Chains A and B, each alone.
Chain A
């Protein structure tokens, strides 16, 4: 009986992994396909990887994507964390009101956010380009940071901060030595979430971008009419593998000094 149970469990997990990774596996296989169409296997090749690195347009789009994701996540993390600190000092009712307000943009459809940002930028008269995409991404990233920092903030023991002040620390010292290390995991996961949201985004970027600048997602979408080029499969494979390696490193490096921060 328990053996059957174990087998079912394994089968179930295998099934989930299949659903999650079959699409990515297909993409990776296709990136080595010499034929341009997915319907035919034209033999193993690395030519898409070669032409990828010779393609300035795609590399520029990759650079834009990473720069925007990193900067917007960083700035949103700072703004979001500061917001959490001040929300912590508010009355309960005000705090929950503000939490509600910051949650709305997350639930809001992307296309609404995208078009309203576009209209806002038009009415202010900003030139559309890198700056407008960055501002838009910061805007939609902030709620995600707040969402992941706020719970950490609530778990804080207020006495430790006060104790630090009593022992002669300045406000800034007390914040960075006592509060900051405690909420750091929340800040970090907020940053990562913001980074991925920004990487993923298409619609908001589409409406806030100007001529001559593309991120990977807008670039790939424009290729839909004529069929997506295999170079994009190659690039996606590289991104997937890098993320995989990164995750393995994070999870399997020895945790020496992990507690030191406290």
Chain B
């Protein structure tokens, strides 16, 4: 073919340019209409709030909420760190709060503007938060829980008290482990009596060897499927988050949840305000609102993860849940609970290295 006219090409290109410009304009020119008292950008885990509470907040305060969700701390972090979108409130987990403080991404909260955060959240949760937020300057707890063993009483007849049952030959191919570095190493480190935040090479090697030794017994390394597999009776023992345990028990009454005596991970998710937030005042109003007893109760019933809100705990109608050892265990009886702390880049690398060895050898 010799040539398709330059003119034709030019015209098409022109039309195209116009179309593109329209698209770009449509994208830029439509900022959502602000509420009468401004707006608020919230970035939270998926399915981690009762949507009705957002509507209530908008009605009571006149602040428009622009709500966005993420699936893991790790996908949230680069977006916030790069400043792609400016959020006013985020709900990261313990170690991620640690990392964000270290990288100077957060700003200090003014608790004078958040009376509910002081009066309704149990003091013990702030004590726990000190591990990753020294001085309680940046973080207000929202959800928390433990990690433990979920077991099927029709398949396990001995009492379950220790992580060591996950190394018992009797339950070969009936054990489910968490498929994530820190959670898996937590189990092995705690079994050996080490700290789950250790950077000691000998302790980590011992934990790695324990995981390698355990491998032939493990049916699967999974995350979400622990829930469904345990409900379906496809495994006898599984490592699970306490928030899921209540739900699985509702579906299958043979299941029991236990915190092993060697101690475990206590995790906390909660509200922080990033440094570049554009609406700090609204953000504090939002955190305070979320700490209100009735609101925290609605969220607890929606999420089913334990709430650190003592006012909400008192409002729970169902006595079994209110006194549930799973939802609200008495943590004072354990002296070996820890939260994850940020290990630094080198620490993360060290864990990943041993994790690779544990999974592949």
Binding site for B on A (CB under 8 A): 35-40, 57, 71, 75, 78-79, 82, 85-86, 88-89, 115, 118-119, 121-122, 126-132, 134-135, 138, 156-158, 161-162, 171-172, 175, 179, 206-207, 210-212, 214, 219, 221-227, 229
Contact = CB atoms under 8 A, between A and B. Distances in A.
A210 B28 CA distance: 11
A211 B67 contact: yes
A88 B4 contact: yes
Nearest to A225: B45
Contact of B227 (A210, A223, A227): A227
Contacts of A71: 23
A61 B301 CA distance: 25
Contacts of A85: 4, 8-9
Contact of A75 (B23, B42, B75): B23
Contact of B8 (A57, A134, A171): A171
A164 to B, nearest CB: 11
Given A82-B12, A206-B75, A211-B87, 5 more contacts: A75-B20, A78-B15, A119-B82, A162-B1, A211-B68
Task: Across the A-B interface, give the 8 residue pairs with the lowest CB-CB distance, nearest first.
Answer: A131-B27, A222-B46, A39-B232, A158-B1, A171-B5, A211-B68, A222-B69, A226-B47
Contacts of A161: 1-2, 4
A135 B227 CA distance: 39
A71 to B, nearest CB: 7
6 contacts: A37-B251, A40-B232, A89-B3, A127-B28, A158-B2, A162-B2
Contact of A221 (B15, B46, B51, B234): B46
B57 to A, nearest CB: 15
B23 A131 contact: yes
B8 A223 contact: no
Contacts of B5: 171-172, 175
A138 to B, nearest CB: 8
Nearest to A172: B8
A75 B4 CA distance: 21
B125 interface: no
Contacts of B43: 211
Contacts of A225: 45-48, 71-72
B1 A226 contact: no
B253 to A, nearest CB: 12
A114 to B, nearest CB: 10
A75 B1 CA distance: 26
A131 B80 CA distance: 20
A200 to B, nearest CB: 17
B319 interface: no
B228 A207 contact: no
Interface string B5-26: 1011101110110011001101
B32 interface: yes
A37 B67 CA distance: 27
B16 A78 contact: yes
Nearest to A133: B27
A207 B23 contact: no
A221 B46 CA distance: 8
B159 interface: no
A172 B303 CA distance: 61
B358 to A, nearest CB: 24
A222 B1 contact: no
B84 A118 contact: yes
B64 to A, nearest CB: 10
B228 A37 contact: yes
B312 to A, nearest CB: 19
Most buried by B among A36, A37, A86, A157: A37
B70 A222 contact: yes
B83 interface: yes
B66 A212 contact: yes
A221 B26 CA distance: 27
**A35, A175, A211 interface centre (most CB from chain B within 10 Å):** A211
A68 to B, nearest CB: 11
A47 B78 CA distance: 38
Contacts of B30: 129-130
B355 interface: no
Given A75-B23, A86-B9, A115 B69 contact: no
Contacts of B67: 211-212
Interface string B56-82: 000000000011111110010011001
A205 to B, nearest CB: 12
Contacts of A226: 45-48, 303
